[in-house]
């Protein structure tokens, strides 16, 4: 069966640490599968994810609007609309929006059975509040 949606009816999450918002359109809650996690993310100006890595999870970002940087052990690279960033499992990384622009991107992670390790930040970096009032904690 096909699954058709409008973004206004999907779970919208706001990071407990200000400046990040995500909307899932594929996750176990919505589709009944945990083979992948996909959605869109929006970062306010000059906002970053914590420096982190995921066990047993490969993912990518496809930048749709705005500019920023991706930090890995190999260095810091600039990204912008049309940039695709592939992050192999266990790779340390951080995504940061430009100081003067919001960043909007598609994110895909697989499988959705992974553990995230924060290397620079706090456990709150993994806490997201649903707009409907519940809380989702990333594993």
pTM, to two decimals:
0.87
Mean pLDDT (whole number) for 91-100: 97
Domains of the chain: 17-132 (2.60.120.10)
Tokens of residue 111, six digits: 């499988």
Which residues lie across from 63 on neighbouring strands? Answer: 105
Over residues 36-70, the pLDDT tens digits come to 888 999 999 999 999 999 999 999 999 999 999 99
pLDDT over 90 (residue 5): no
Give the Cβ contact number of residue 51 at 10 Å.
17
CA triple 58-63-67, angle to 5 deg: 125
| Statement: residue 133 has pLDDT above 70 | no
Q: Phi/psi zone of residue 46: left (φ > 0), alpha (ψ -120 to 50 degrees), beta?
A: left
DSSP letters for 83-120? -EEEE-TT--BEEEE-TTS-EEEEEEEE-S--EEEEEE
CA gap 52, 103 in Å, rounded: 19
Question: Does 9 score more than 80 pLDDT?
Answer: no
Q: Are 127 and 22 in contact (CB under 8 A)?
A: no
Read off the tokens for 33: 């599968």
């Amino acid at each position: 069966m096909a699954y058709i949606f409008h973004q206004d009816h999907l779970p919208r999450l706001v990071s407990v640490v200000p400046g990040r918002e995500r909307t899932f359109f594929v996750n176990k809650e919505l589709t009944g599968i945990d083979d992948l996690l996909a959605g869109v993310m929006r970062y306010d100006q000059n906002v970053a994810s914590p420096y982190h890595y995921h066990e047993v999870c490969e993912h990518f970002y496809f930048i749709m609007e705005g500019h920023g940087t991706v930090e890995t052990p190999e260095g810091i690279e600039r990204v912008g609309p049309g940039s695709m960033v592939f992050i192999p499992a266990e790779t340390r990384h951080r995504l940061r929006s430009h100081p003067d622009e919001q960043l909007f991107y598609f994110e895909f992670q697989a499988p959705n059975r992974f553990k995230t390790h924060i290397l620079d930040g706090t456990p709150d970096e993994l806490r997201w509040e649903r707009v409907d009032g519940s809380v989702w904690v990333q594993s």
